[in-house]
Amino acid sequence: MPSCDVSYALTGKILPRGSWAHGPTRIAHLHFCQPPGVQPHHNHARHSRDESHMVMLHRRHPASQTQPDQQTSAVPISMGSTGASTTATRIADVSIVIVVTLCYSTYALTRHAAFKSAGYDLGIFDQAVRNYAHFHLPYSPLKGVSFNLLGDHFHPLLMVFAPLYWIWDDPRMLLVGQAIVVALSLPLLTRIAERRMHPIAARIFTVLIAFSWPMQGLIDFNFHEICMAIPLVCLAYDALDRRSFTPFIVACVLLLGVREDLGTVVALLGLVWAWEVWRTTHDHRQALRGVYMFLGGIVAFVVITRLVIPSLAPDGTFAYWDYPDFGSSLSDMLAMIVQHPLKSLGIAFGNSYKRQTLLLLVEPFFFLCLGSVRWLPCLPILLSRMWSNRPLLWMAMFHYNAIEFVILAIAAVTVVGRVSKNWRKAVVAVLLVSITYSYRIAHLEGEWTEPFRQLPQDVRTIKNNPRIDAINEMLAAVPKNTCVTADDRVAPHLTSTNRVTVPGAPTPRTDLVILDMTQADTGNGLSKPSDALKDYEDQGYQRIADKENYILLSTSNVVPDKRLCGPTAP
């Protein structure tokens, strides 16, 4: 006869003699037993009556006859742990967070020192967060005069980084903050994995994900608001595991404040909640909450993109509708998908770059991720990227793949949890080997899918580099609280002291200009450095420094003005 430990593993608690479980923790057969160390109480008559009652209950609820590998409880059975945290696992989790934070921060700060960060997007977000820190609207002069960044993308949750600027008012604080935010998601990911595999395997899995090519790409792209979605997605899935709706809805609501397109992710998370709750418990009320979440996510996406952002945008429109193959509006896109589904799929997969990116996303998990509905929340983001006419979105680079990869990772371990214990260790081994092998594939693809390999080169670039010395000398010569127009790679090094924009962007005035003549453009494809140099010299700007292909130009009379040209000036 099984011991109470078996009942504990199945229901999450030691069940007293003569009781039964039903609802979310319903089991087919309940063995009457005592907790470890307690002598059994012999009451054969009572035991017989209780056993007869259980037989009747079992006949009334045939749906409770589940297979051992089907999870009916809120939290799947762990292979190697009852879920109790030990000192060793706590130390391991904290160590992983610290090491990953240091690695991420070191890479990002080194690239910044090597002038490989950019005004687009580090400088833009730096200006916005600095204004939040001063309790202003999130203006970004790099985008234009009095440009409210909420009229570009909807990311009010950016303000969580504002307190960091009270400690150190510098764009590098965003780089460190992003590293911390992403690293803090790892214990949640570990907890999700540990419910389905051995604790050591779960932590190996987490480390492999932390240094995977999509996470490297996220850190490589200076800073991006999507970093805040990583811990929130992990929190949502952890709450889904535990069938805890309060943290689930909190995570989903906060996701709406990360970026407007995550409303579609929230909608699909709601459907996943509804499906899993209904499949395991047949609880109409709990499942209906997921349906409400689906509707809320769709409504939020429509309201934000059609009302909120246009009301804050300078031109009164949502600037990121890049789907000419699907018409000019969301309704046109939906009509195209319904009327021409095969053509829509053809657009999504009809390009070698798109197919390569999709393969690089699912191959590391040995395609196990496709065996769970939990991968579906990343589908709207993937389709919106592949349907876009912006080729950069199709690529396996930068921050574009991070959130999708984390969702697919969680879906893969969910499938592992459904494998019978006889085979689960083998499947876990295959999964870990497959993720490890994906590092080799990323290496063969090139530096875009393995940006961390550039770190030694960046360190060498900083040391004894005449170009770095030249630009640092020019930056030291720029007076604070002056209006500066600078090359995109130079801009984030001035945003903490000056109002900065790039050549070609509107500005109330320009006191100084810094150009990097080695670049193809001055930033975001606006103009060539040679064309910008000619334009400014025609306007009467004088060269006051010309060294190592960096040129510093100035007007005849530079007067600092904090209100007009300070770092928080709109």
Per residue in 24-59, pLDDT tens?
A: 333 333 343 444 444 444 444 444 444 444 444 344
CA distances from 470 to 117, 144, 170, 319, 479 (A): 17, 28, 21, 38, 17
List, for residues 496-505, the tens digit of each pLDDT value.
Answer: 999 999 998 8
pLDDT at site 75? 52
The pair of three-digit structure tokens given for residue 403, joined into one six-digit string: 């959130």
pLDDT at 91 over 90: yes
pLDDT higher than 70, residue 62: no
Burial class (CB in 10 A: 0-12, 13-18, 19+), 115: buried
Query: Does the pLDDT at position 72 exceed 70?
Result: no
Distance CA 254, CA 251 (A): 5
- Cβ neighbors of 320 (< 8 A, separation 6 or more) are 153
One-letter amino acid for residue 425 of the chain: K
**pLDDT of the residue at 350:** 86
d(CA 384, CA 389) in angstroms, rounded, equals 10
> How many whole angstroms separate alpha carbon 400 and alpha carbon 394?
9
Query: pLDDT of 282-325, one tens digit each?
Result: 899 999 999 999 999 999 999 999 999 999 999 899 989 899 99
Query: β-strands 483-486, 499-501: how paired?
Result: parallel
Which of 225-234 are b and which e, b meaning 16 or more Cβ less than 10 Å from the residue's Cβ? bbbbbbbbbb
Tell me the pLDDT band of 74, cut-offs 50, 70 and 90: low
Average pLDDT for the chain: 86
Cα→Cα distances 459→102, 114, 452, 462, Å: 16, 8, 12, 5
Q: What angle do CA 353, 357, 361 make, to 5 degrees?
A: 170
- Mean per-residue pLDDT for 179-206? 97
**Runs of H (alpha helix) within 75-212:** 87-113, 124-133, 162-167, 172-183, 186-194, 199-210
**Token representation of residue 27:** 């089991």
CB distance 555 to 541 below 8 Å: yes
pLDDT in tens, 201-253: 999 999 999 999 999 999 999 999 999 999 999 999 999 999 999 999 999 99
Give me 276's structure tokens.
């899993």
**The two structure tokens encoding residue 124:** 């833009």
Q: How far apart are the first and last CA of the chain?
A: 74
CA atoms within 13 A on the CB side of 289: 16
Tell me how far apart the alpha carbons of residues 562 and 511 are, in angstroms, rounded to a whole number.
13
Q: What is the mean pLDDT of residues 427-451?
A: 88
Residue 490 structure tokens: 């130079």
Q: Residues 277-286: what's their mean pLDDT?
A: 91
Q: What are phi and psi of 516, to 5 degrees?
A: -110, 105
Question: What pTM, to 2 d.p., does this model score?
Answer: 0.85
Q: For residue 87, what pLDDT band results from cuts at 50, 70 and 90?
A: confident
d(CA 526, CA 187): 42
The residue among 149, 122, 126, 153 whose CA lies nearest residue 137 is 149
